[in-house]
A = this chain, B = another copy of it.
């Protein structure tokens, strides 16, 4: 399959780069905060930018766009639309979006006036009320989505946005590859989170310019192209897999496994969570996936990595393939919508002993101690095997390299894991969207169980035969490590990782 994921824009021509990826080329817009370029597309619209919803992505988009447009000397207004009684009103007001200055409005006023409406409500609420809201948008206005969930929801009902709102001039998606708080925090720190953009309908050139303007305005250091259909699949899949569910299940399984071996709770936490969100994530971010393997000092450690990798990859490949099928069929989207409608509660994810141990570890650890945490070779092998399984499943389903490496690797190590490092699992999962929170809760236990029952016994040696005896054929004698070391993903990751600005996220507060 040859890869051709290119696009053009005369207005942004100086920012576009077409880069080689394994098997072809992709165009990427580099951000570099050229905010002077962004006002043009918004000024052509016949109304303000209205951000609807103010939970995860809303505050990031509203604040970043407002600041970027001011820096560009533009007077395009940015409004926030919230219903009466929304629990987010206080937060929006604290950020300067108030009724007094005319930038905090009701949904009806926002819908009636918006030239560009960024629909950033909770997914379930979007699915439930989207049709009513879209019908109220003015003729010729443009709908912006920060991910493809709503299109996926309509697709599961065999409908399209164009059918629901034929009066729109276009629909464009700009989808940050990180949680909303990261998008805001990195912007403030002078850096940013990469985004994908996707055109759904409307004039191709005009919507491209608008999407690129939106993406640069929220501070994306670079922007790559996808489709809404690919976006929602990779996004809903990725968060259920290694970004949230998979990594959560993995650290739970590893903690219990260490504990079983007689290792005390706090040390078990260090050797599961801290090694993963610390040196393993940092090394991946800076040196790539093979960099972790190469950083191991001894032959024995490399063997531990390889053995864990080989035990993990084939098992998680099966689970992750099944997960992709559950997502791509539309079932996960329908389930989230039902859960949302039924007000199905989300239990806390950190009630167990390991997260209480984690609190103690974080409270007592000095920066120096944190720097001295080592890479646990088996944990590194398992984690990277999970990432690689995710990469291979996304590639097999036709996702472009830009999306694959961002949804499988970069988002994890640059945006999400730092949140787990800072305050534990809940701080990571529950800063994400409702869809992600529910999906992470559902899938983490399944990753944990597969790892406990079918991977860790193999890592401990000698249980491969039992798995084969059970007729499950999860394992074989293939040397997955050899595939890993020669995998094209490393080239793709290098290409996209080096476009990032040099500042890493610093999570505080």
Residues of A within 8 A of B (CB): 256, 259-260, 315, 318, 321-322, 325-326, 329, 331, 334-335, 338-339, 342, 344-353, 426, 430, 441-442, 444-446, 448-450, 452-454, 456-457, 463, 466-467, 470, 472-474
Contact = CB atoms under 8 A, between A and B. Distances in A.
A271 to B, nearest CB: 17
A84 B474 CA distance: 26
B454 A445 contact: no
A347 B445 contact: no
Contact of A353 (B260, B426, B470): B260
A345 B325 contact: no
Give how many copies assemble into the complex: 2
A325 to B, nearest CB: 5
A221 to B, nearest CB: 34
B348 A472 contact: yes
B452 A351 contact: yes
Given A445-B449, A449-B441, A457-B352, A472 B344 contact: no
Contact of A347 (B335, B353, B453): B453
A348 B453 contact: yes
A338 B352 contact: no
A360 B350 CA distance: 32
Given A256-B256, A346-B472, A472-B346, A453 B331 contact: no
Given A347-B454, A347-B467, A351-B467, 17 more contacts: A256-B256, A322-B342, A325-B344, A329-B334, A329-B338, A345-B472, A345-B473, A347-B453, A347-B472, A347-B474, A348-B470, A351-B454, A351-B456, A351-B463, A352-B453, A445-B448, A446-B446
